[in-house]
Amino acid sequence: MTRAPHVADVPDTAGDRTVVGANLSLPLFRALSGVLAGHPYLKVVVDRSEDTWHLLDTRVHPFHADYIATRLLGMSMDELDTELDAFNTSVYTAPDRRFLLGVLSLHSDEDAEGAERPFLVLETTEADTMRAALLEEFYHYVRARVDGRLPLLLKPANHWQEHELASVSETRVPRILSQELFGNRTRTCLNPGVAEGRLRYFRDPAEYRSAAPQLGWADIVAMACLPDDVPRVAGFVNTRPTTPLSHTNVLASGWGIPNAIVRDLDDLVRRDGLDGAWVRYRVSEDAITLERLSDAPVLERPVWHQQRISIDTPLLDDAPVMALHRLRRADRDSYGTKAANLGELHHVLDSRTADLTAFYARPRPPRPDLLAHLALRLGEPEAPVERLRAAAAERVAATVRAPEGVALPFRLHHLFLTSSPALQQGIGKLKMALELDVLDVIDSLCLDLQRLMHSTPLPDAVARAVSGAAPDLLADGRRLVVRSSSNAEDLPGFSAAGIYDSVTTVRGEEQLLDAVRQVWTSLLSPRSVRLRHEAGIVLDDTYMGVIIQRYEPADLGGVLVTCNPTRREDFRNVYVNCTAGSPERVVDGTVLPHQYLYNTVEGGGRTVDVGSSGEDLPSDTRAKLGELALVGRLLQSHFSAGDPDGALDIEWLMTAEGAFHLVQVRPYAR
């Protein structure tokens, strides 16, 4: 028998429509729900002691905890703030908890006849550690009170719940995994933002290539998968799934432009005539829209046209070839940012004197800090701050390794460039064209310079320095990796993601010399020169260092960023991407990687996408990735230049033995 709903006892001035004890119909759901990630959702609270449930008015009660504390327990907000961590334990992790908290979201699929069929999905909060029996109780309580015509599925909120539910029949508790629910979303936020511009939709790479030279700052570029060399424009639209950690999205993040996956763009273009039209493009986690404008807007040139990013003067004195482990962060003016950061990483792992707790020590109202959560993550719940610092350093050193290798200084690059009058003349022409803003000749001047660099012999002193840089690495003929390390990257407002070359298939002295030359030459590619010019980075001050590392075969390679790229206000989660083999495959768009979010405060992780493989990684591998995510968060405390919330971008690989090697540590574009 359906019980009549009644409004919660204390409505607020806006008219609280929260309902207690009623069965849930689809109209009632729609009346109370909000929208999250493009889907209607409704927060629910089951009160086990009163044998009833509460359907919260989303407009009035955005947080379960506030509602329970103030409406059901009679607490003031000040009291809740004071006892917040204890309160959260009582509602999210206590096995004998009174309240079960969840979210119902509305989705749809097609039946056998192609008709739309709505269904509901129930999940807890991401940090909830309900065991199997409690999850089953929660599901059946809600199932009994939801319109029987609406299918209801339980979605595990984290890997813990997936493991718990493995022992429960899907007949008894029907379920759906996050990657099954969201892996085929029609629209997905990659980088939030708003832009007005002209939509340029390219159906194939050849069509894009022919139009690329004419693309300008007011264009919004749409295609299946944007190439790494896309110019700076007003916005990106992908029509095929990709990851927020691709090179193009890191560029979008650094440039502050909207980027999203819009798989139904063909339909939108046909329906609204959008190709070539002026549009307003909005991207948020909740909604992604392309609205045709009736007239071309009056657009001001973007602020980056007046941008002037300064870089420190490069040091071209007698800096020697240096082992990576001997470098520190201050050496970036002689060896480049990447090399200096890897040297700093060696220092952190070897000396264990760095304070890696700063992120957790920062006040996050109403909490004075998150150190108690860190203590739980490190397995030392009662440890004083001094012990936590030591434990954090020990955990990082035990989990990851820094690459062995050598760094070539800017001095060698400078000696090569100044050894040839023809190179100096070509650089002089390019500088003059940049100073006069004669952009139509930039590309040809750069290409001429690159050809000349490839044909100019290395001075004997430079060749000897490169060949002698890594005798141990060359001795056994093993494969080497040669990476770029410029002073014109990883800067505030200029990430340079993907614009310089690295060579990962080097064997022997001859290939090493060619690879170093290729890395130097990439500093003068048309695209890198244009992007630096737009940012106001002077060519005279730009140099390239080189990192030479021993190649480490990888079972798994990837990238992590110590934030949630699509929700920067989310301070809990670290985003991890990976795929079989090299980390380069994650960012270059050749495969869709596995994607995970790991909560580094309360703990736990969840799968976002299983990628091109179609299957999730084994649970023990996912647990190891959770440890890596925590290490990334701890390293953030040291590498974020005085801002504990400054996110890091870390490339890593995992060997067949399960050892993690970090191959790059850099600021994540913001």
Strands 152-154 and 34-36, sheet pairing: unpaired
Instruction: Return d(Cα 473, Cα 507) in angstroms, integer.
Output: 10
Nearest to 6 by CA among 53, 39, 51: 53
Instruction: Return d(Cα 157, Cα 129) in angstroms, integer.
Output: 9
pLDDT of residue 133: 96
Q: Is the pLDDT of residue 2 over 50?
A: no
The larger pLDDT score, comparing residue 539 to residue 589, is at 539
pLDDT of residue 303: 63
Q: Is the pLDDT of residue 610 over 80?
A: yes
- The H-or-E segment that residue 154 falls in is strand 152-154
Is the dihedral angle over the CA atoms 481, 486, 492, 496 positive or is it negative? negative
DSSP 511-546: HHHHHHHHHHHHTT-HHHHHHHHHTT--GGG--EEE
Instruction: Return d(Cα 433, Cα 369) in angstroms, integer.
Output: 53
Q: Is the pLDDT of residue 1 over 60?
A: no
SS (H, E, C) 404-422: CEEEECHHHHHHHHHCCHH
Work out the pLDDT band at 624, boundaries 50, 70, 90: very high
**Overall average pLDDT of the 549-556 stretch:** 91
Work out the pLDDT band at 114, boundaries 50, 70, 90: confident
**Overall average pLDDT of the 329-338 stretch:** 95
Residue 401: phi, psi to the nearest 5? -125, 150
Residue 303: phi, psi to the nearest 5? -60, -25
Tens digit of pLDDT for each residue in 436-492? Answer: 988 889 999 999 999 999 999 999 999 999 999 888 878 878 899 999 999 999 888
Extract the tokens encoding 172. Answer: 């008894």
Nearest to 532 by CA among 307, 316, 372: 307
Three-class DSSP category at 170? coil
Three-class DSSP category at 283? strand
Instruction: Return d(Cα 243, Cα 568) in angstroms, integer.
Output: 16
Mean pLDDT of the chain: 91
Extract the tokens encoding 667. Answer: 């600021």
**Taking the CA of residue 541 as centre, how many other CA atoms within 13 Å lie in the half-sphere pointing to its CB?**
14
Instruction: Return d(Cα 80, Cα 94) in angstroms, integer.
Output: 17
Strands 480-486 and 544-550, sheet pairing: antiparallel
SS (H, E, C) 130-142: CCHHHHHHHHHHH
Q: Is the pLDDT of residue 494 over 90?
A: no
Instruction: Return d(Cα 647, Cα 643) in angstroms, integer.
Output: 9
H-type alpha helices, 419-490: 421-435, 442-455, 460-467, 471-475
pLDDT of residue 318: 86
pLDDT of residue 670: 60
CA distance from start to end of the chain = 54
Q: Is the pLDDT of residue 590 over 90?
A: no
Nearest to 380 by CA among 367, 393, 391, 369: 391
Q: Is the pLDDT of residue 21 over 70?
A: yes
pLDDT of residue 300: 77
Is the dihedral angle over the CA atoms 184, 185, 191, 195 positive or is it negative? positive
Instruction: Return d(Cα 16, Cα 8) in angstroms, integer.
Output: 7
Extract the tokens encoding 590. Answer: 């050749």
**Above pLDDT 70, what percent of the chain?**
97
Nearest to 193 by CA among 129, 128, 273, 288: 288
SS (H, E, C) 322-334: EEHHHCCHHHHHH
The larger pLDDT score, comparing residue 244 to residue 414, is at 414
The larger pLDDT score, comparing residue 655 to residue 4, is at 655
Instruction: Return d(Cα 147, Cα 144) in angstroms, integer.
Output: 8
- The amino acid sitting at 51 is D
pLDDT of residue 14: 57
Instruction: Return d(Cα 206, Cα 527) in angstroms, integer.
Output: 18
Tens digit of pLDDT for each residue in 222-248? Answer: 999 898 888 889 999 999 999 888 888
SS (H, E, C) 582-611: CCHHHHCCCCCCEEEEEECCCCCEEEEECH
- The H-or-E segment that residue 574 falls in is strand 573-580
What are the structural domains, with CATH classification, of the chain? 6-176 (no CATH), 187-303 (3.50.30.10), 307-354+391-551 (3.30.1490.20), 553-667 (3.30.470.20)
Tens digit of pLDDT for each residue in 291-332? Answer: 999 988 888 777 666 667 888 899 998 899 999 999 999 999
**Above pLDDT 90, what percent of the chain?**
74
**118 Rama sector, left if φ>0, alpha if ψ -120 to 50, beta otherwise:** beta
Q: What's the gap between Cα 13 and its chain centre? A: 40
DSSP 215-241: --TTEEEEESS--TTPPP-SEEEESS-
**Overall average pLDDT of the 348-358 stretch:** 94
- Judge contact between 496 and 527, C-beta under 8 A: no
Nearest to 660 by CA among 585, 587, 576, 597: 576
Which letter, b or e, does each residue of 350-372 get, where b requires 16 or more Cβ atoms within 10 Å of its Cβ?
eeeebebbbbbbbeeeeeeebbe
**Taking the CA of residue 612 as centre, how many other CA atoms within 13 Å lie in the half-sphere pointing to its CB?**
14
Instruction: Name the CA radius of gyration of the chain, rounded.
Output: 27
Q: Which of 68-72, 304-308, 345-349 has the lowest mean pLDDT?
A: 304-308
Q: Where are the beta strands (DSSP E) in 224-312?
A: 235-238, 259-262, 278-283, 288-292
- Judge contact between 29 and 83, C-beta under 8 A: no
Cβ neighbour number for residue 3 with a 10 Å cutoff: 11
pLDDT of residue 246: 87
pLDDT of residue 641: 67
Instruction: Return d(Cα 603, Cα 63) in angstroms, integer.
Output: 20
